[in-house]
Structure formats: structure tokens, C-alpha cells
Structure 1
């Protein structure tokens, strides 16, 4: 991959991972609840999904999913249901005392991975990365040594930033009423993302 090609890919990926979405909301909300350091397990879950999708895109599996109406719809409506359920649950829990320190790293990791993985629309981003930026005259394996580290580093920086934002909001939202409304706004974001995913055309 040329320097110019890498720069264009890196710019695309920065826009891809910094645009607010369910992953960002989850990082912010988790950091508000349990602090910056513990919330970084969410970043690990997102990175796992990124590695999986990058690998699937490289071998063409994600393109197959996008071109299969049944598989696409199963993924899409599973994502809709999960995001709306998560939003309603968090809305109901807003303002209630939570024993967040007791939530296991495994639970946080799995939740972050599922939120990252259930949106089939994100597959389009990975497909775009390969269809638009991979050079056909260079072995894919060689280019993966450039694409994967670049994507993972930028993804880590982006969602670590969202965790830091959440931790900052958590320190600021000291009174009960402010914390209550921040939690409800974030819960509403999950529901909104679920509805938008359901309404989105292929």
C-alpha cells in the first residue's frame, strides 16, 4: 500500500470510528458508571469485533452476508431488538443505585462486543475499506500488515477517548438529578439507534 493510499485509508477510518454510534454511547455510559480505567474493557470488546470483521472482510465473508437478504435481515433485526431492549432497560434503571463495581469484566466485554457486532451496517464500512483502498496488484496478506494495525490503533484511540469523556461526565454529574438525565439521554440514544437500524434501507 502506497503512502497516499494509507493516508486516504487512515482518514476514512478516523471518520468511521469517531462518528458517534452505539459503541460510543456504551463507552460513555460505562465510564460514567464505573470510571475510566475499568471501562477500557469495552474498548477491548470493540477491538475484538474489529479484528473479526477485518478478517471476514479480507476473506470475503462479510460481502457474502451483505448480499444474502436472509442473513442480513436476521442480523439487522437482532440488532434492532438488542439495542431497543438495552435502551429500555437502561431507561428504567436510570437514577437507581447500581452496584457497578460488582459487574464482571466478562459481562462488560461481552456486552461491548455484541453492541459492536450486531449492526450489519458496520460491515459496509469494512467492505468499503477493502473495496476502495486495497490495491489489487499487491498481495492482500502484505496489505493486511498495514491495514490492521492502522485500523486497530485508530479504533483504540477513538473509543478510549469516548471512555475518557464518560469518566469526565461521571465526575461532573455529582448530583442525582443530573446523573439521572444523563443516563436517560444515553438510554434514549440506544433506542434511537435501534429504530434507525430498523428503518434503514439496505
Structure 2
């Protein structure tokens, strides 16, 4: 792959990943409730989801999904239900962390929710949209040079995606933390939960209504 083609790929995925979506919303919410450092587990879950979808697309399962309406609908509605459940949980959650407890990282929320659950949430949200699998199946071939070994090119594409997604999603987590601290100073900490919960439900509804 030429450096010119790589820069085109980089610009495309930066635009895609920076655009807010369910994963970005999840990282913001976890950043607000658990702090940006603990939200690295959520970010890692999203990255593993992306790598899984990349591997499945490379194995040709993206084409199978494109041809199977039943499989597409099952994955789509499972992802939609999970987003709605996240929305309900966010709506009913206690107010996000205060500045003092967030810096100390000793809140009951931190003790109650282990890192593996944050990771699992990131994984489920990342893998619950069947269009992502179709997206990787359509995107990667555009940047592959048939005269060069494909495996090394796929590795470079995947590594680039991982680095960009990791940085951007951590940025969303840090923003969520800062944003909720600002709301907390205004005495509106619970407002974040209401907005995030509503956004998750809307995202779930949009996913359920999505067509290929």
C-alpha cells in the first residue's frame, strides 16, 4: 500500500470514527460515571469488536450477511434491544461522579461495576450493528493493492483503525468526564443521565428501523 493511499484511508476512517454514534455515546457515559481511565476498558471492548468485524469481513462473512436477510435482522434487533436497555439503565442511574470522588476513584459505582463489564458493554455496542460488518467488507477492498501480500495490508489497515478509534473514543470519555463535572457545578448532574438515556433509546430505535 502506498503512503498516498494510506493517507486517504486515514482521512476516511478519522471522519467515520469522529462522527458521534452509539460507541461514542457509551464512552462519554462511562467517562462521566467512572472516569476516563476506567473507560479505557470500554474503549478496549469497542476495539475488540471492530477487530472481530474486520476478521469476519476478511473471511467473507460480510458477503454472507449481505445475502441473508434473516441473519441481518437478528443481529440488528439484538443490537437495538441492547441499546434500549442501556438507555433505560442510564436513565435510572444515580447521578454521575462528583469531582472529588472521580479523582479519588473510590465511589460505590467503581466498586459495583468491574472493568470486565465495562469491556463487555463496549464489545456488545460495537458488534451489535450488522451494517458495520457490511461496511468493513465494502471499505477494505478499496484500499488493497493486489500486487502486494494482502495479509500485511489488512494488518496495517486494522492497526490504523485501532489507533484512531482508541484515541478518539478516549477523547469522548475525557469529554464526558469534563462535561458532567461542569453540569455538577451547576447542580444538574442528573441531566446527563436523562440525555444519555434518551439518546441510547433513540439510537436503538434507529437501529431497529435501519434498512440495508
Shorter chain as normaliser: what TM range? over 0.9
The answer to whether the Cα contact below 8 Å between 2:65 and 2:134 also exists between their aligned partners in 1 is no
Question: Unaligned regions of 5+ residues in structure 1, if any?
Answer: none
Asked if 1:99 is matched to 2:108, the reply is: yes
- Could you list the per-position Cα deviations for residues 125-154 of structure 1 after superposition, in whole angstroms to 9, with x for gaps in the alignment? 212321322223322112123212111111
Question: Match of 2:131?
Answer: 121
The two structures have a TM-score, normalised by structure 2, of: 0.88
Question: Match of 2:14?
Answer: 14
**Aligned residue pairs, count:** 202
Write out aligned runs for 1:115-154 (5 A). 115-154=125-164
The answer to whether the Cα contact below 8 Å between 1:58 and 1:140 also exists between their aligned partners in 2 is no
In structure 2, what is the Cα distance between the partners aligned to 1:128 and 1:71?
18
- Could you list the per-position Cα deviations for residues 31-72 of structure 1 after superposition, in whole angstroms to 9, with x for gaps in the alignment? 111111111111111111111111112221222222211110
Asked if 1:160 is matched to 2:170, the reply is: yes
In structure 1, what is the Cα distance between the partners aligned to 2:44 and 2:171?
13
Greater Cα offset, 100-109 or 57-66: 57-66
The two structures have a TM-score, normalised by structure 1, of: 0.92
